[in-house]
Amino acid sequence: MTQRMIEITSPVFITENQIPAEGGLAALFGNDRPLALEIGCGIGDFIVQLARQKPEINFLAIDIYNKGCDKTCKKIEAEGLQNVRVMRIEARYLLAHYIAKESLEAIYINCPDPWPKKRHRSRRLVGREFMQTALYYLRPGGNFFFSTDFDDYGEQVAEIFPTVEGYDNSLPTPYVHSLCDYPISKYMRRFLDLGQPIYYVHYRKQADFAVDESILPPLDKGFRIRWDSAGNE
Ligand SMILES: C[S@@+](CC[C@H](N)C(=O)[O-])C[C@H]1O[C@@H](n2cnc3c(N)ncnc32)[C@H](O)[C@@H]1O
C-alpha cells in the first residue's frame, strides 16, 4: 500500500544520506552519550517522555510510518528535546547498515504489530531471531525492553527469551503488568483505558557474553524498504 507522504523538514529528522560518514549515527548528537533505539515509535508519545526522563541518553526513534515520524518530530521540537533524532527506516535494515556491534545502550519496542492470525505469526518482529540479532548490537549489559497489549505476543516473547543464551531477566517474573515509571505509548494508553493489561518484558544482555557476526541471521536477498525521493515505497 502506498502511504500518503508528507515531506518532513524537521531538524530532528534524519535521512540515510545525512548520516555522517565519520562517526555514524552517534555523531549526530555532538556528544558521546550512550545511544538507545526505539523501534516503531508511532506518533512519538513514548519517546518524548523517555527522552525527558533520561537526558543522559541519546535516542534514535524509528518507524516506517511517514506520518508517525512527522508527528514524532513535531512533539520532540515542541518539547525542545535535544537528545532525540527520528528516522523513517526499517528496523532490521537500520541495524544491519548503520548500527555498530555492541553500540546500543538499549532497544525499546512497544506494541509492535501483533499479526494476530496464526498463519501470520512469523511476520512478528520480535521472536528468537530478533532477540539474537539484538545481542549483537546491544552493549554488554545493554537493555531490551518490550511491551505489548496482545496477550499471545506477550506470552510468546516471555517464553522465548529465557531460551536465548546471552540474556538475564531483569524482572522477578517472565513478564509483569505493572509499568512503574516506564512511559506509556499511544497504544499502551489505548489498551490500558479499556482495562486491558500491558505485558512488559525487560531483559539485559549478560556483560560477559561474547558475540560475533555468526549470531546474525542473513537478511533476505535485496531486503530493504525502499522509497523514492517523493517518499513512496
Ligand atoms: C501498533 S504500532 C505501535 C506504535 C507505538 N510503539 C505505540 O505503542 O503507540 C506499531 C508501529 O511499528 C511500526 N513498525 C512496524 N514494523 C516496523 C519495522 N520493521 N521497522 C520499523 N517500524 C516498524 C509501524 O509502522 C507502527 O507505527
pTM listed for this prediction: 0.94
Question: Active-site residue 208, yes or no?
Answer: no
Mean pLDDT score of the chain: 93
If pLDDT is split at 50, 70 and 90, which confidence band does 116 have?
very high
What is the number of structural domains in the chain? 1
* Cell reading at 58: 541519546
Residue 8 lies in a domain: no
Our answer on whether the CB atom of 166 is closer than 6 Å to any ligand 1 atom is no
Cα(177)–Cα(198) distance, rounded to whole angstroms? 5
Render pLDDT for 66-97 as a digit per residue (tens, 0 to 9). Answer: 999 999 999 999 999 999 999 999 999 999 99
Q: How far apart are the CA of 18 and the centre of ligand 1, in A? A: 23
Alpha helix ranges (H) inside 82-167: 91-98, 128-137, 151-160
Residue 6 lies in a domain: no
Structural domain range at position 134: 16-215
CA 34, distance to chain mean position in Å, is 15
9 found inside a domain: no
CATH number at residue 55: 3.40.50.150
CB 69 within 8 A of CB 8: yes
β-sheet bridge partners, residue 85 = 60
- Say whether pLDDT at 221 is over 80: no
Query: Alpha-carbon distance 43 to 74, whole Å?
Result: 9
d(CA 136, CA 138): 6
Sequence-distant (6+) residues with CB within 8 A of 193 are: none
Chain segment 156-166, per-residue pLDDT in tens = 999 999 999 99
| Gap from CA of 114 to ligand 1 centroid (Å) | 10
Which of 128, 136, 93, 121 has its CA nearest to residue 226? 93
Q: What is the pLDDT of residues 8-33, one digit of tens each?
A: 999 999 999 999 999 999 999 999 99
Residue 224 counted as domain residue: no
3-state per-residue secondary structure call for 51-78: HHHCCCCEEEEEECCHHHHHHHHHHHHH
Which stretch of 101-105, 183-187, 214-218 has the lowest confidence by average pLDDT?
214-218
Mean pLDDT of 203-229: 77
- pLDDT confidence bin for 225, thresholds 50/70/90: low
Intra-chain end-to-end CA distance of the chain, in Å: 8
Domain assignment present for 102: yes
Q: Flag whether 80 is in a domain.
A: yes
Is 89 a member of any domain? yes
User: Is any atom of ligand 1 closer than 6 Å to the C-beta of 135?
Assistant: no
Expressed in angstroms and rounded, the spacing between residue 145 Cα and the centre of ligand 1 is: 14
Question: What's the gap in Å between 112 CA and the centre of ligand 1?
Answer: 5
Kindly tell me if the per-residue pLDDT of 231 is higher than 60.
no
201 lines ligand 1 (CB under 6 A): no
Q: How many residues does the chain have?
A: 233
Instruction: Work out the pLDDT band at 230, boundaries 50, 70, 90.
Output: very low
- Whether 61 and 38 have beta carbons less than 8 Å apart is answered as yes
Packed helices 45-53 and 66-79: angle between N→C axes, nearest 10 degrees: 30
Q: Is the CB of 184 under 6 A from ligand 1?
A: no
113 lines ligand 1 (CB under 6 A): yes
Is 90 a domain residue? yes
Q: How confident is the model at residue 223 (pLDDT cuts 50, 70, 90)?
A: low
